[in-house]
Amino acid sequence: MPQTLNTTLLIIGGGPGGYVAAIRAGQLGIPTILVEGQALGGTCLNVGCIPSKALIHVAEQFHQTNAFSKQSALGISVPSVTLDIAQSVNWKNGIVDRLTTGVAALLKKNKVQVIHGWARVIDGKTVEVEVGTDVQRIQCEHLLLATGSTSVNLPMLPLGGPIISSTEALTPQAIPKRLIVVGAGYIGLELGIAYRKLGAEVSVVEARDRILPAYDQELTQPIADTLKHLGVKLYLQHSVEGFDADTQMLQVRDSEGQTLGLNADQVLVAVGRKPNSQGWNLEALSLDMNGAAVKIDQRCQTSMRNVWAIGDLAGEPMLAHRAMAQGEMVAELIAGKAREFNPVAIAAVCFTDPELVVVGKTPEEAQASGLDCLVANFPFAANGRAMTLESKSGFVRVVARRDNHLIVGWQAVGVGVSELSTAFAQSLEMGARLEDIAGTIHAHPTLGEAVHEAALRALGHALHL
């Protein structure tokens, strides 16, 4: 039997939360072992956030270059455009490889021992890891669970062949002629728009009555307009019945019970994600659960002493930056520092066309919580930088208390608004008021001027409207 390893901190999962926790623990001098069954970086780095943004960039460049083969207002003309999707995938994979190699180097630099294998929990202090044909036992003082999440599958659409998940969609061998996306959430629409720009005929099937149902309709309307402009077909309030591989037909049912057959070469299932709580004997710990997620407190502690959980395993919001912040905090708590995970707001970003950002409370959420708020929009149609980027749609929206002008939320939809998310989050964390934003000189010409103008408008004196 192999010798048992002993460590202060054992982390299961090498995604954003797990590897950041390990790096910070190493910096603090905590003996740490990180166990990862697949590639370092987890879903986000390997088959999620990073590769999807790379593919979206390829799609946008191809789409724009195609536009230049026709009449362009910019005066740019190209004779013909071709796409080598294999080269595109290689470029995307190169980015992923550089980032995962960088994570491995940082872990080594901070003296974190990485074990590539599949963990199985024995108890709150003991884990066995399958490393090839061998089993390694590890004992620890602190156990950090950072196993992430997995795609939600549909029983009537088992993955395989033409039925794919986002993982397969991010490594296409060819662009299908007809792609049907099941799910109009951010994953489905990000990839659906990208595939449309890469040349596929795209249809989106959604059980709810509108796209991006987690966000309000005013915010999602510019994205709906883009889908219409691109020729993406929407089948809202349609449920999936099944797929006939022989006829390449997806059967769907509308809200009135009528069935419809949709032709498809590929069907992308993108109906959400769920905590990865199965397959590694989590049940041995008998932890308090919140549905499929592990229940945690504001220090990311579970119901068992010295057992911690972070990221997607702990439920919504399933965001890599949330997991990273939690991982850093847990490492510092183990080192004896006084910390608590209590952010005012965490930005959520959809990398659709146009992009969408939500930070803090929306007008509806503010009203539901009993707040009397001022709400003001500033359209990008009145922003010079947006015009130079050939974008006139979208807006910045601010939500602030009427009594003291404390800002409680920001939302934006438009070209490049993902880069405004940091300013939004900072203003909430620092307790900014409308006067703080209105009194800050914003550089010209930038999209950030719309942030300034939204605050001015809420105060009753926008300058460029």
Structural tokens at position 426: 């900072």
Does residue 391 belong to any structural domain of this protein? yes
Cα separation, 335 vs 328, whole angstroms:
11
Residues 19 and 82 in one domain: yes
pLDDT, tens digit, 9 for 90 and up, residues 270-286: 999 999 999 999 999 99
* Residue count of the chain: 465
Q: How far is CA 319 from CA 42, 145, 201, 373, 410, in A?
A: 12, 16, 30, 28, 18
pLDDT, tens digit, 9 for 90 and up, residues 61-107: 999 999 888 878 899 998 889 999 999 999 999 999 999 999 999 99
Which listed residue (116, 321, 444, 461) is catalytic?
A: 444
Does residue 52 belong to any structural domain of this protein? yes
For residue 407, what pLDDT band results from cuts at 50, 70 and 90?
Answer: very high
Residues 135 and 242 in one domain: no
Is 444 tagged catalytic? yes
pLDDT, tens digit, 9 for 90 and up, residues 295-345: 999 999 999 999 999 999 999 999 999 999 999 999 999 999 999 999 999
End-to-end CA distance of the chain: 75
| pLDDT of residue 388 exceeding 80 | yes
pLDDT of residue 257: 93
Number of separate domains in the chain: 3
Cα 281 to the chain's mean position, in Å? Answer: 27
The CATH code of the domain that includes 419 is: 3.30.390.30
Residues 279 and 361 in one domain: no
Residues 135 and 280 in one domain: yes
Which of 334, 360, 375 represents a domain boundary (last residue)? 334
Does residue 63 belong to any structural domain of this protein? yes
pLDDT of residue 1: 57
Residues 142 and 101 in one domain: yes
Residues 141 and 11 in one domain: yes
Residues 364 and 313 in one domain: no
Average pLDDT over residues 251-272: 96
Average pLDDT over residues 11-36: 98
Cα separation, 376 vs 359, whole angstroms:
15
Residues 130 and 181 in one domain: no
Residues 252 and 327 in one domain: no
Q: Would you give the DSSP letter of residue 71?
A: -
335 within 8 A of 371, measured Cβ to Cβ: no
Does residue 56 belong to any structural domain of this protein? yes
User: Which amino acid is residue 434, in one-letter code?
Assistant: L
Does residue 167 belong to any structural domain of this protein? yes
Average pLDDT over residues 438-447: 98
Widest distance between CA atoms in the chain: 75
Residues 104 and 214 in one domain: no
Residues 358 and 398 in one domain: yes
Q: Which domain holds residue 361?
A: 348-458
Residues 13 and 143 in one domain: yes
Does residue 281 belong to any structural domain of this protein? yes
The CATH code of the domain that includes 82 is: 3.50.50.60
Does residue 116 belong to any structural domain of this protein? yes
Q: How far is CA 445 from CA 170, 212, 263, 385, 387, in A?
A: 35, 30, 46, 5, 10
Does residue 341 belong to any structural domain of this protein? no
pLDDT of residue 15: 97
Angle at which helices 16-27 and 320-334 pack, to 10 degrees?
30
pLDDT, tens digit, 9 for 90 and up, residues 24-51: 999 999 999 999 999 999 999 999 999 9
| pLDDT of residue 111 exceeding 70 | yes
Q: Which H or E run contains 359?
A: strand 355-360
Exposure string for 214-240, b = 16+ CB within 10 A, e = fewer:
ebbeebbebbbebbeeeebebbbebeb
Q: Kindly report the backbone phi and psi dihedral angles of residue 154, in degrees, each rounded to the nearest multiple of 5, phi listed first.
A: -105, 125
